[in-house]
């Protein structure tokens, strides 16, 4: 059923592992947007509006990083269970090309389209 070779799975697993580290790092760097102000940092370069804007941007970024991280974890679990590369919805092979671009993809292109539409795009 699965059209991925062992080598391809191993390669994608490496990508997933480094992606997971990267996302975890990003998430810990932006934790709650409440990092204590570094007193050595020059003050007054950011206006209050800038700070608010930056905070809401990082909240949105955090949400999408969190979703992506969950997908990465699920993909790694799927590799362990030998179900990686299959669409979680229709169970068709997702395809190596798509997985190379987004190794954490849980759905094939068709299902992804439908899922996106149901959630009002994005
Ligand atoms: Zn599908």
Domain around 114: 6-35+44-118
- In whole angstroms, give the CA distance from residue 85 to residue 4: 7
Along the 122 residues of the chain, how does pLDDT read in single tens digits? Answer: 468 999 999 999 999 999 999 999 988 876 655 555 555 555 566 677 777 777 776 888 889 999 999 999 999 999 999 999 999 999 999 999 999 999 999 999 999 999 989 876 55
Query: Ligand 1 mean position to 69 CA, how many Å?
Result: 20
**CATH code for the domain in which residue 111 is found:** 1.20.120.910
**pLDDT confidence of residue 35:** 53
Whether residue 62 is contained in a domain is answered as: yes
- What is the Å distance from ligand 1's center to 92 Cα? 6
Give residue 110 CA to ligand 1 midpoint distance, Å: 6
> How many angstroms is it from 17 CA to the middle of ligand 1?
24
97 in a domain, yes or no? yes
Consecutive H or E run containing 65: helix 48-81
* Domain count along the chain: 1
pTM of the entire predicted model: 0.75
Secondary structure class of 86 (helix, strand, coil): strand
Contacts of residue 33, Cβ cutoff 8 Å, sequence gap at least 6: 54, 55, 58, 59
Whether 101 is covered by a domain: the verdict is yes
CA of 115 from ligand 1 middle (Å) equals 10
Residue 72: predicted pLDDT? 98
């Amino acid at each position: 059923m699965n059209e991925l070779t062992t080598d391809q799975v191993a390669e994608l697993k490496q990508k997933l592992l480094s992606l997971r580290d990267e996302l975890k790092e990003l998430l810990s760097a932006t934790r709650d947007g409440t990092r204590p102000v570094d007193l050595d940092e020059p003050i007054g370069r950011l206006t209050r509006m800038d700070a608010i804007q930056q905070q809401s941007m990082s909240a949105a970024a955090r949400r999408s990083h969190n979703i992506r991280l969950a997908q990465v974890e699920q993909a790694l679990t799927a590799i362990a269970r030998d179900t990686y590369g299959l669409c979680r919805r229709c169970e068709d092979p997702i395809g190596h090309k798509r997985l190379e671009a987004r190794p954490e993809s849980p759905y094939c292109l068709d299902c992804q389209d439908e899922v996106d539409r149901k959630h009002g795009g994005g």
